[in-house]
Structure 1
Amino acid sequence: MSDTINLQEIHDTLVAIAFEAGRMILAADPSDISTGTKMNSADIVTETDQAVERMVSSRLQTAYPSFAFVGEETYVAGTTHITAAPTFIVDPIDGTTNFVHGFPFACISLGFTLDRVPTVGVVYNPFQDLLFTGIRGGGSYMQRNASHQLPQFPPQRLPLAGKGDASRAPALGKLSAALVAVEWGSQREGENFEVKARTFRKLTASNENGGAGSMVHSLRSLGSAALNICATAAGQVDLYWEGGCYAWDVAAGWCILAEAGGRMVSGNPGGWETELDSRVYLAVRGAAAGQSEIVEEFWGVIGDGRMDYQH
């Protein structure tokens, strides 16, 4: 079936849907919309999340009625599964907490998978009019002024370093020279939380005068897994480590990262291959050299710690 699927057409459809979703998100007033929580007070959902997902689902089911659809707001634990079938995997607003607070790092994440492999990815931040796209085998791009139609604000479409030209991306060195993206996530107790807290401390602690830390340049938290992965794909950060997010948070960004020569491995030590729905991830930017070495160094910081999240 994959030979008969027009990936460019799917890409173009997802971009159009992303722009429509962006208009809905920008039109919403976070101070005047219904807001609720899921797992706890850090796991927020709004009526805008739900309205955007309904629009996306309707558009995609009309255009591709035989394809599966997995969305964050309609996911049912223990019932919803990602199969090998052609599947759209959607997060209507990734970064809902940012959206509610008016912090301009939220996006719609639209992924398409074949055989559980991220194959098309579209991530759009309407607050910055910033679009990331990727097609498996077709490269990935970052586009500023993405929706502008005015001649004084022409779109700027920049190719991200691809698999074949990763040599033009700077080599990765030691963690001490890295900028690392992380997130606390919504689970704020238990062993997963403790693994994160210990690792964050070791990443930032001094390595001078006998110190046991890695002393990375710094940690960054954009508040959106999709945008963190895209920042890694664009080389704006060197790595992104996460535990607790879902397939809809990573599917689109994963395709964009892979097409930029980046690599996705497990967020737990030793896992050079990780599943789309593993819930633990370590993304590494494209580089002329040093990917495997920095992964192993990062895993060494985690040590014996393991994150384990249920579906």
Structure 2
Amino acid sequence: MADINLQAVHDLLVEVAFEAGQMIMAANTAKIKTDTKASDVDIVTETDRAVEAHVSARLRAAYPTFPFVGEETYIPGQTTITPAPTFIVDPIDGTTNFVHGFPAACISLGLAVDRVPAVGVVYNPFQDILYTAIKGKGAYMQRNASLPEGKGRGERVRLGENLTPLGDLRSALVGIEWGSQRDGPNYKVKVETFRKLAAAREDGGGMVGGLRSLGSAALNLCACAAGQLDMYWEGGCYAWDVTAGWCILNEAGGKVVGGNPGVWKPELTERIYLAVRGASAGQKELIEEFWGVIGDGRLEYKH
């Protein structure tokens, strides 16, 4: 990694994120063409494909030797993530939100080296919020990020400072997602875990402080990085959903562990994740308490 200028990669990804954001905001969702992939709720639009094509062209021109892995060009059974420096991109994370005009959709741009997130840029053009990180150099959030300096652009705030301790599940705000798979064993594990998280302790539940669904893995991870969520549990997403946000969360003092109990060091392609915000104390205890709610349940997804 020493011979890669990660700052230069970061700066290019920020530039490309703003370009993609303009494309997303220019789309007329009332007229946009949509299709489905794995299920009726797994939506893809012509804007997803156009944004990925633009991003791919920009990144390949600047770094022609770096492999590119994007959601819309992924081929099951063929596309792999190697140890080589690799761009891992979701052109619109939160497509269902995007087509409804619900302001929780983003572009997620990551660089992985040795299959480890090294640079992360997540940009929500609806709210003009930019999250960025470089491995070893911290994570940042900026509001009104696309506005000119001195004309409303927000302060670039470092994430992960002044960390507070975590309590137990009763005080935790937890991000969850139903996902696009709505049947089978994985769905049953999710539903039972959601039920147990919400249930009163007298009924064997966690009596969790609150459950939230943002509809975007990248934004859930960034919310943990910003301390807006205490935890986030997900099964079924892919590397392009999490690479950028994972880097941002790591640099904000947070952790990503396995979404199944006992997995402390998940692979980038694990597809099953549990994230916890940065904290001065209590991360390990809260992770283990969450795993205890899952119990004997196991999520299983093909890579």
Q: What's the TM-score, normalizing by structure 1?
A: 0.96
- Counterpart of 1:306 (choices 289, 294, 298) is 298
* Counterpart residue number, 1:196: 190
Unaligned 5+ segments in structure 1 are: none
User: Which residues in structure 2 correspond to 1:21-60 (within 5 Å)?
Assistant: 21-60=20-59
* C-alpha contact (below 8 Å) 1:132/1:143 kept by paired residues: yes
Cα RMSD (Å) of the superposition? 0.8
* Distance in 2 of aligned mates of 1:48 and 1:152: 30
Query: Residue by residue, what CA displacement relative to the aligned partner does 1:127-172 show, whole Å, maximum 9, x if unpaired?
Result: 00000000000000000010001634132211001xxx6xx31101
* Distance in 1 of aligned mates of 2:156 and 2:185: 43
- Structure 1 position 10, deviation (Å): 0.2
In the alignment, is residue 218 of structure 1 matched against residue 210 of structure 2?
yes
* Distance in 2 of aligned mates of 1:282 and 1:276: 12
* Counterpart residue number, 1:132: 131
- Counterpart of 1:250 (choices 232, 235, 242) is 242
- One-letter amino acid of the counterpart of residue 225, structure 2: A
* Counterpart residue number, 1:182: 176
Unaligned 5+ segments in structure 2 are: none
Counting aligned pairs with the same residue, the percent is 66
* Distance in 2 of aligned mates of 1:100 and 1:73: 17
Q: What's the TM-score, normalizing by structure 2?
A: 0.99
* Counterpart residue number, 2:166: 172
- Counterpart of 1:238 (choices 230, 243, 267) is 230
* Distance in 1 of aligned mates of 2:13 and 2:154: 18
Q: Label 1:4 to 1:150 Cα distance change in 2 as closer, same or farther (>3 A).
A: closer
- How many residues align structurally? 303
* C-alpha contact (below 8 Å) 1:147/1:155 kept by paired residues: no
* C-alpha contact (below 8 Å) 2:198/2:208 kept by paired residues: yes
* Counterpart residue number, 1:94: 93
- Counterpart of 1:279 (choices 271, 277, 280) is 271
* Distance in 1 of aligned mates of 2:170 and 2:206: 6
- One-letter amino acid of the counterpart of residue 143, structure 1: Q
* Distance in 2 of aligned mates of 1:25 and 1:49: 8
* C-alpha contact (below 8 Å) 1:94/1:108 kept by paired residues: yes
* Distance in 2 of aligned mates of 1:278 and 1:29: 35
